[in-house]
Structure 1
Amino acid sequence: MPASLTLEEAEAVLAAAKAKAEEIGQPMNIAVCDDGGHLVVFARMDAAIKVSVDISQRKARTAIMMNLPTDALSGITQPGAELYGLEWTSGGLVSFGGGMLLSRRGDTVGAIGVSAGSVAQDMEVAAAGVAALPKTRDK
């Protein structure tokens, strides 16, 4: 069984994402959840738009529930596509970029959701958070 995401690891993921948001000059809402989709840490940077508080958390939860980054859902949830309407299930999913899985040794241990910039900016900041997760951990 894979080791779960620790608070310390979640804080490191959030700190790296926040540093990237500061570097690109875009205040963000950043959510990190565990492998059950439960919030572990969250930050709303000064001046980040308020609607994105919910969106960032939904992005992290969507990535966990679908076991995919949220941008992978974009094409298949459009009108006429096979999974059109999916985002209205499970209490509201997000089908655009900014939610990414956190994995260790091939096992999903959590996810990050980022929102408040463009989709490209959200994905860039989320990727910085993903890169900060140690790939191994002593038990």
Structure 2
Amino acid sequence: MPPTTTTPTLTLAGAQTALAAAAAHATAIGVPMNIAIVDSATHLLAFHRMDGAKLTSISIAIDKAFTAAGHRAPTSVYKEAVWPGGAAFGIWNSNGGRFLTVGGGVPIVDAEGRVLGAIGCSTGTPAQDEEVAGKGKEAVEREVKRAGKAKL
């Protein structure tokens, strides 16, 4: 095995694709959102606060994306495990309090299942946030499939 690897990651163009699709869906369902996109290393690539989105949801959207990319799983998977006695009880205290267990953060993956980044949305209900994030994820994943090995 070589001493280094190259990790595929989302680019700004990919982040803009996700933002546009997520914002369009948020508009369609009538819920203005804060939308955050991070790369595979959890660093913020792009952020969009729609008019009317809750100001207190800005950091929540960013942290949902951080959690989804860093843990390589949707934030909604923790719903049952974070209650007292659950396997992940207290996990929200990790990573400087940035680990979020509320739906709305989803990883963006390539055809091989590698995490390229993630999208986090916040302002609606957890189900609405996850639905909007899913539209952004799907848009990027379609582009990745269409481009083949081209970088996004």
TM-score (norm 2): 0.88
Distance apart, 1:30 and its partner CA: 0.1
Residue 113 of structure 1 corresponds to 120
**Counterpart residue number, 1:7:** 12
Q: Which moved more, 1:1-10 or 1:13-22?
A: 1-10
Gaps of 5+ in 1: none
Amino acid at match of 2:42: G
Task: Determine which structure has more spread, i.e. the larger CA radius of gyration.
Answer: 2
Match among 92, 95, 100 for residue 94 of structure 1: 100
Partner of 1:130 in structure 2? 137
Structure 1 equivalent of residue 3 of structure 2: none
Match of 2:40 in 1: 35
Tell me the C-alpha RMSD between the 2 structures: 1.1
Q: Write the distance in 1 (CA, Å) between the matches of 2:87 and 2:150.
A: 42
Q: For structure 2, which runs of at least 5 residues remain unmatched after alignment?
A: 1-5
Counterpart code for 2:106:
M
Percent of paired sites with the same residue: 41
Among candidates 90, 104, 108, match of residue 110 of structure 2: 104
> 2: CA distance between counterparts of 1:4 and 1:75?
30
Q: Please, which of 22, 32, 48 is the counterpart of residue 53 of structure 2? A: 48
| Counterpart amino acid of residue 35 in structure 1 | S
Q: Is the 8 A contact 2:32 2:51 kept in 1?
A: yes
Q: For residue 19 of structure 1, what is the aligned residue in structure 2?
A: 24
Q: State how many pairs are aligned.
A: 139
